[in-house]
């Protein structure tokens, strides 16, 4: 039952969830870096359905989370009500005399435990996907730079910092 419950909430959250940001007032913009100011300008009042969010947006939101703004992943009230009713049907025996108590317990568990856990799992999944996409993008950009034609009539020097085996320098 637990797996079915978690899967239902996670699937609904990934299909119908919204990722929103809200600027925090406790940080002084004058003291922050210009990059953080730019991040706050772009994502300070951001709202996007989870199914449409791009990997670079997830990376930017993670970078600014708890520093420039607060990131929230949530469902609308109608989806929450339908999910709670589905969970009640899943856990309630057919001939139950304590329907009101079980409904209250399910509502409390959904609000305090089930939905936050699903939000954390979905954010972790989105972050993992964004990191994979970031590495792939870096690889394709580096490949393009390394495979370009050499500079004619210019001396090129490459430096490898070599943390393990020492610094290597190549001059061509």
What is the tens place of the pLDDT at every residue in 59-106?
A: 988 888 877 788 899 899 999 999 888 888 888 877 888 888 888 988
- How high does pLDDT run on average in the chain? 83
d(CA 133, CA 54): 10
Q: Which residue has the tokens 């964004």?
A: 130
Burial class of residue 87, CB neighbours in 10 A (0-12, 13-18, 19+)? buried
Q: Are 74 and 18 in contact (CB under 8 A)?
A: yes
pTM, two decimals, is 0.74
Higher pLDDT, 62 or 44: 62
pLDDT for 31 equals 47
């Amino acid at each position: 039952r637990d797996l079915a419950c978690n899967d239902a909430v996670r699937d609904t959250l990934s299909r119908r969830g919204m990722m929103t940001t809200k600027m925090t007032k406790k940080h002084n913009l004058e003291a922050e870096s210009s990059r953080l100011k730019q991040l706050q300008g772009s994502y300070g009042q951001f709202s996007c359905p989870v199914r449409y969010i791009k990997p670079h947006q997830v990376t930017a939101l993670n970078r600014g989370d708890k520093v420039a703004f607060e990131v929230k992943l949530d469902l609308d009230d109608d989806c929450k009500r339908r999910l709670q009713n589905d969970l009640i049907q899943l856990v309630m025996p057919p001939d139950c005399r304590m329907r009101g108590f079980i409904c209250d317990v399910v509502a409390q568990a959904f609000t305090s435990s089930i939905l936050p856990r699903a939000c954390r799992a979905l954010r972790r999944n989105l972050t993992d996907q964004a990191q994979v996409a970031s590495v792939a993008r870096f690889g394709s950009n580096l490949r393009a730079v390394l495979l370009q034609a050499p500079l004619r009539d210019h001396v090129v020097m490459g430096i490898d910092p070599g943390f393990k085996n020492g610094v290597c320098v190549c001059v061509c």
